[in-house]
Amino acid sequence: MLEQVSEFLWWERLWLPKNVSWSDLQDGDGLVYARPSHLYLALPCAFALLLVRYLFERYLASPLAEAWGIRDRRRLPPEPSCALVSYFCHTSHCPSQAEVRSLCKKTSWSERRVQVWFRRRRNQDRAGLCKRFCEASWRCTFYLFAFLGGILALYDSMLPSQYWYYLMEMGFYLSLLLSLTFDVKRKDFKEQVVHHIATLTLLAFSWASNYIRIGTLVMATHDSADILLEGAKILNYAKWKRSADAMFVVFTLIFALTRMIILPFWLIHCTWVYPVERFEPFFGYYFFNAMLVVLQILHFYWGLLISKMLYKCLFSKVKRDERSDEEEEDRSDEEEEGKDPPKKENQRLDHTTSCRPRGRANGI
């Protein structure tokens, strides 16, 4: 049974053009071709990168955060309440105003007290500022080295350099999938999962089908913008607002150039038009371009979010940072004690706004 499934998955008519077989991609006459078996090391590479990330965050990023004065806010724990804990775990993390009133009757608490309890309970599940700084530092560092490696791989015609670049990229995106449950959860969590899976699929298919140059170009265009995004977040966490704003503007320009112009009008155009000039369309041709289109749809979605953030960054008078995973922050509860309850209108406003999805505009 497994052998039949394997034969179907590697059926030549699925992945190769007509009159081309896997035997044509065997090494010979001084030529070396990429093989699917070369990618078996991607999973061990992912675990190795997770280890490197742990060491990087503990011994480099954490001391840097401390040196820059980046510290987690002190968050007060919620009061003991079995009824509210049960509601939080089984019903909703953000009850409506009517549900808050119902919970007030069950607990004999005031509306303000119930709202504060839910805010403090949600804060317990949010990542601290130091964790977000360490995560952004790791990604920024990796994207920088990956981008430089991609440029070198494009200029080097030798297979080994391209192989290690592919292995590094696949290992990184596999490590992101493996660490999803531990990383800061974004509001675009589902889109990120789709992005990572589509990227891994494209990398694996382009390597197996010997589309290595176009695969390297796609990854290099991605990494170029991600460096600036993570760098802007690092500066923002360090309270260097002007530098963070300037880098975010540059990131927006690079994102628009690479993912809104170069990728759809150059790279996807090449993969869509030129292959049919030499071969008849086949399943692998449609599959490869479909994955690129999936990525492009995600880029349009993220581009819309980024344009809104850029507008607020440049023209809004609101002091609070609206970008990226800065939206995951909730107001510190240190001020909750010892203050008079606000007006009723403010109670509703504070309660609803604290329930907005938190996250960043990137799996980019």
DSSP secondary structure of 325-362: GGGG----GGGTTTS----HHHHHHHHHHTTS----S-
Q: Give residue 364's pLDDT.
A: 40
Q: Give residue 346's pLDDT.
A: 41
On whether the CB atoms of residues 134 and 233 are closer than 8 A, the answer is no
The DSSP letter of residue 14 is H
What are the angstrom distances between the C-alpha of 81 and each of 84, 88, 108, 121, 193? 5, 11, 11, 11, 35
Q: Phi first, then psi: give them for residue 336, nearest 5 degrees.
A: -65, -35
Q: For residue 323, what are its two tokens?
A: 């970008």
Note the pTM of the prediction, 2 decimals: 0.78
What are the angstrom distances between the C-alpha of 237 and each of 128, 132, 223, 246? 11, 8, 21, 14
Q: Give residue 272's pLDDT.
A: 92
Report the chain (364 residues): mean pLDDT per 10 consecutive residues. Answer: 64 72 68 79 95 96 92 78 82 82 84 84 78 94 95 80 92 94 82 92 88 91 94 93 91 95 94 87 88 94 90 64 40 43 41 40 42
- Per DSSP, the three-state class of 70 is coil
Q: How far apart are CA 251 and CA 81, in angstroms?
A: 46
Q: For residue 6, what are its two tokens?
A: 């394997």
First-to-last alpha carbon distance for the chain, in angstroms, is 39
On whether the CB atoms of residues 246 and 234 are closer than 8 A, the answer is no
What are the angstrom distances between the C-alpha of 285 and each of 143, 195, 279? 28, 19, 10
Q: How far apart are CA 293 and CA 290, in angstroms?
A: 5
User: Which has the closest alpha carbon to 250: 318, 328, 313?
Assistant: 313
Rama region for 183: left / alpha / beta (φ>0; ψ in -120 to 50; rest): beta
Q: How far apart are CA 41 and CA 173, in angstroms?
A: 13
Q: How far apart are CA 136 and CA 227, in angstroms?
A: 10
Q: Phi first, then psi: give them for residue 31, nearest 5 degrees.
A: -100, 140
Q: Residue 129: CB partners within 8 Å, gap ≥ 6? A: 70, 71, 72, 73, 237, 329
